[in-house]
Structure 1
């Protein structure tokens, strides 16, 4: 025990105080440090502003009034109590700057899955078939930052239903659209049937020109719609779960960048996540420990069709059934590490588009520690296909690291169409190669 009386007093006060530590003040006396208490946010409840939530009433004006009032109190929280009649119908809402959190309690349940699903609790839904977006977050600055956009907004626990009161889907419909706004987080959110034209039974995922959330940016230098996050969200029947892109091809570096998808469950989609599909690059995203499954869908991940993306990381994900291509890569810097691919009838797990070779770029990719699991009868030609590259020019024109990927066929013999783990645009095997620029080594093929 310390012989310093001031030290002993400080320790006794700290032990007795149950929280704030006591510090010895100058002159030998001890003073307890003041406890720091976070000020709770001011809460604006949409029901208090007249929102009914009976599934048919137009609640747009009431909810917008709550949002506008909250916008005048920086750091405020807008609460959506569970809707008594299933959902809050709206023709579209705009979130002003100053609002910090939109909070609700929604639940997505699949009864007799995969045939039907239900969404209950704090749910927003379109009023009519002309409703194009439920939640508009931010407005475009046409290349300039918009300080009044709700940067740092958190949407927590809300549900988004994409069907009209009559039960029909809306083509091109988005649950939420984030424009020129940074650090927007969707956490524990759920969406059901967003962009589903005429769903009957199991969703087919729509055409993919609508869906759950899109992040759009007009800014240069990858600045404005950055750090978007989808955390622990679940989706059932969205055309596209996530789209990250720019607003104009004039700003190739203005795509929505540096975001995160973590712990999400995405079912019945056409496109799981699209990064830079139309106008501008969308690099720096990471998709971590998420599950994508859609027997009717086109792809789980599409990367780099437009602009100049630089990197995408897929880590620890489960890519389940898909009718076409799990990962469709047209950009450089793909890092696919430790993922599990379950094949349906697709010819390959990961394909690199020919545009890379046309533009004189190599994939500069890392594919390692992945598992391609066949079902014993599936026809699969390869693990990775490099379109635009031949086996002859691959060692010098297609840099990257490709090693340690496992192909498993559940104890059955490999399909007759099996070529090898890595093939070129002519479906010819790319032989194992090692150089200062490239490492290409096949992992084990587990079959009878």
Structure 2
């Protein structure tokens, strides 16, 4: 066990893991730390429901391809907490993180603070202490009242907005969009990904109030699929680009949103040329987003010709995106039957996630998620069966795969999905 495992356990025990949206606590802590958030390099602040993690990954890959040192803050992690904080391109090491958390706790004293707030403060402190050329900061939840929303970015970005975290953001799309649009800043340009009409209207209203120039997919810029990738077009640029390394039809939008951000960054004197964009598209890496596992114990246990895929998406729009990929898989000359292995938190709409996939999957196996408020395999199976997906409960990932291999004809394509916690368990188990 690494040093950081007991450290994170201690921080989780001392500071509530429950979400308590608001900026007062973290602003007070950052003030006691000397306001490190004001000493960041030029920053991009990314909000949205789906695709924001992929957008962060593209931006990092493209900027690093141009030779920039990039700070990155994302959440949640998959296997180790350290994944959340990249300092000048490198995942933070245990000793540095231990020192940062300790500094934050000493500055905070006995005052109330949440786990996400104190770890966000630690990230900003880390970024202020190490020189870099660019920072990419992903919102944790919502935007307006998220702990990350204490920075002055050179660019804001909002990926597609949908229904998620409704217990905190409400169940009305306009309300959710208003929270996400809360990252917009006065006169700071914002790149906007594909949106429903309701969300687009809310974003435009908030941007107008703040005089924030919008750069919107479908208005100021366009993306068009091509035989070899996609074409990005705006009033000032036209690029024919290769398909990104990340799999999925939806990744063309995510990649093009990154290109739109790069175009806006040039106005802020962050120069990332077209060659770096192409190199970044080829080198981008973002685990558990339609990731094909090609080695490891779980893969070794498969029968010849079988494929194992992993995706952490967990809401209705993610289900739709996975269904679109299933359609693409079905176009293959010899398509493999698709079988699902999934687990989901009770805070997620399991029916909404599974319904788009039901017509494309031959069967499913439901697994538990230990240590979290999750559907039992029996409850998850019932929701799958309700939307016409033949599903049976299993005790864990291993038993689900064993049952599929024992009962279904090979070769097959297996997609493990429904939760980033499930994805993290798979990656840890698969080495």
User: Could you say whether these structures have the same fold, taking a TM-score greater than 0.5 normalized by the shorter chain as the test?
Assistant: no
TM normalised by structure 1 equals 0.27
Whichever structure has more strand as a proportion of its residues is: 1
